[in-house]
Chains A and B, each alone.
Chain A
Amino acid sequence: MANPIARPLNKRVLLMGTCLCDAFYDDTAKATVEVLEHLGIAVDFPDNQTCCGQPAFNSGDWVASRKVARHTASVFAGDLPVIVPSGSCAAMNFHGNLLQFEENPDPAIDSLAKRTWEIMDFIYNGLGVKTWQGKFKKPTRIAFHRSCHSRGTGSGEATLKLLESIGNVVVTPFGQDEQCCGFGGTFSVTFPHISGRMGSLKLDHILETHPDILVSGDMSCLMHLSGLAVTQGRPIEHLHAIQILRNSLA
């Protein structure tokens, strides 16, 4: 997949908080606001937003997911950039939606696709912030899991470069990093065994490098990996990359 090449830039943006941040990871959404404001960007959070519709889309229920997508497109109508702290939900906006509307294109859906940025991609490629002026007090080893939905987009490189530029941060590479964490939303429910095995393998590779923090651009991957890690008695601190940027400013 590829994200749109030219997307609008503005000193004011709309935040798409994602349902996972809404339900579990409020600090990730908060960090997104704080980092954007630190960069001089004003953030609006349309209160009627819910979910991007991906669970229904991936399940093949496109009647249901189109309904949710239309709702989302109307909530984020206008011409402001839409910023998402999730590669997966961002990809739903600029890729998945185009797929499910390809037979009956919808201008509102197209407009949302053209204005959607994953947050790290926005900072690095949109605002042109190539190094992050932040620092950790102590040397910190970070394992960076590239979430699958950022394949083929600018997000992976953007995140890696920004993380690496933070003072006292070392990004530690681990084995088979192209492999998925096994979440896949409803996939983890309908294929519980394979999903669990995939996640455990990923954890083996990550933990082998003894990172201080596991970082990703998608809380869904982190929810899955940390959920497995806790049950397996090997918990690991995990944060969204935007939280790392924010924390390094303190």
Chain B
Amino acid sequence: MIGTQLIDQYARDISDEKQASVIDGSSKGTEKRYSSLHKDYPNPDALRKLAAAIKDHTLHHLEHYLDKAEKSLTSRGVHVHYASTDEDARQTILSILRSHDVTQLTKSKSMAAEEIHLNPFLIENGVECLESDLGEFIIQLDGDEPSHIVKPIIHLNRRDVAKTFLREGISEKYNDDPETITRQARVHLRAKYMQAQAGITGANFVCADTGRLALITNEGNSRFGMAPVPVHIALVGIEKVIPEEKDLAVFLNLLGRSATGQQLTVYTEFINGPRSENQPEGPEHMHVVFMDNGRTDVLASNCAEILRCIRCGACQNVCPVYRQASGHAYRSTYGGPVGAVLSPILFGSRFPELADLPKASSLCGACNEVCPVDIPIPDLLLRLRDKAKRESVPSAGSIPMSPFATLATSPSLWRTAMTMSKAMNHLPIQVAPIKPLQEWLGQRTLPESHGGDFRKWFKTHKS
């Protein structure tokens, strides 16, 4: 299966326009993200390592902190639910909605909800479900999938969006001015907000000590969605719990900077629970659904570090493979480096089908360098390559390596091969009937072989 890797194929077939959007959207903020972190912190690496340590500590004591979070939430009048699978999560949310007679809701951006394909499920079950994040709203109109964690429509340009709005009757005539597009969306969404009977959100962090949820957005859509509705449901991956509120100081400072180069995102919401004497506004009913959906399997694997992820998208932005291929090439909710690790193991039964994802990396390590929680992504990709090989997953497309190992452990054979390789200088190897070699040499000129010359020189030099 050499040379037919799906992600490479995807990058080959992607339209120039889509690829240009992805490259532009992912590479443009690099400098800003870097400088926003380095300007305020003389040693951002120390901060990243602290964030990693807090996450690791939490993950090592996850049951303890989930218990604690549950108690804190319950004491504030929040109903806490646990869902072990995607189906459990969908059914739990549906039954909450039914118990409150909800037929119409708004939803702010949530990767957890994307992961369980919540929208189509709710719509199938008669609940009108509207995405209120502008990017997600456009995805919903197009019947598309998000291709980036933070910028779901990174693969589209303003002309694409203007066409969608015209087609869907949100605009009366074609206009691709971004400000006009945003205004049109706002007018359309405002009316829907007022009709909604519930709001669904994710949560960036859940503080175990107080039960406070932290939600960050740049559009304020989550906050706006909470204002008119009596019911709030937050769908949260179990790994989103952090020990204490004060830990937010570390994570919020890293998250905005790593994601978009902002010191803080425009809106940082702290949700203390449902309406009460101390909190006279907001929904009367609040539910938190803690979702496992494969996370405990990941925790038990040798790639548990990936659960530190705070979904900033920095690894996607900096990844050269992601830039060429787009998030859709990764064929799951999570694309790019984080997805290449997370998707094959989070959706465990899909491992054979997604085992090629960890191969789609030159292991350049740019992802680790920008990761706010210092996830050693290249190491995890390597562990998954080893897993694919051990489990003989054919889709991973391994090059047979035992001939190499034999050669590299037989010094005299090796030396002979090196000297012999000079013969290649006189052979038309580019026409050798080996497809990957042909493909490689079609784009690249191999240097002249000097096989064994150094060894010869060294012997004379020493004598």
Contact = CB atoms under 8 A, between A and B. Distances in A.
Contact of B445 (A68, A100, A231): A231
Given A55-B401, A178-B30, A191-B8, A61 B389 contact: yes
B396 interface: yes
A55 B404 contact: yes
B452 A22 contact: yes
A47 B462 CA distance: 13
Contact of B405 (A1, A56, A180, A189): A56
A51 interface: yes
A21 B454 contact: yes
Interface in B434-463: 436, 439-440, 442-455, 457-458, 461
Contacts of B387: 60
Nearest to B385: A60
A184 B382 contact: no
A104 interface: no
A25 B448 CA distance: 9
Interface stretch (B103-111, B175-183, B221-229, B354-362): B354-362
A189 to B, nearest CB: 5
Given A60-B386, A64-B402, A190 B408 contact: no
Interface in B406-445: 407-409, 411, 414-415, 418, 421, 436, 439-440, 442-445
A64 B457 CA distance: 31
Contact of B365 (A22, A57, A149, A192): A149
Interface residues of B, number: 72
A64 B408 CA distance: 10
Interface in A53-67: 53, 55-65, 67
Nearest to B325: A194
Given A55-B401, A61-B398, A190 B359 contact: yes
Contact of A151 (B365, B382, B385): B365
Interface string A22-46: 1111100110010000000000010
A186 interface: yes
A138 interface: no
Given A59-B401, A65-B401, A68-B409, A228 B444 contact: yes
B364 A148 contact: yes
Nearest to B27: A176
B21 interface: no
A189 B440 contact: yes
- Please classify the interface of chain A as helix (H, G, I), strand (E, B), loop, or mixed, using the class held by over half of its residues: helix
Interface string B366-387: 1011000000101100111111
Interface string A75-98: 100000000000000000000100
A51 B413 CA distance: 13
Nearest to A29: B454
Contact of A180 (B364, B444, B455): B364
Contacts of A224: 444
Contacts of B363: 58, 148, 184, 187
A187 B362 contact: yes
Nearest to B451: A23
Contacts of A243: none
A56 B401 contact: yes
Given A67-B405, A180-B366, A22 B440 contact: no
A169 B359 CA distance: 39
B11 interface: yes
Contacts of B421: 23
Nearest to B34: A178
B152 interface: no
14 contacts: A30-B454, A60-B382, A60-B398, A61-B405, A65-B401, A68-B404, A75-B411, A152-B369, A178-B318, A190-B399, A191-B321, A191-B360, A192-B3, A192-B440
Interface of A: 1, 17, 19, 21-26, 29-30, 33, 45, 47-51, 53, 55-65, 67-68, 71, 75, 96, 99-100, 148-149, 151-152, 176, 178-180, 182-184, 186-198, 201, 223-224, 226-228, 230-231
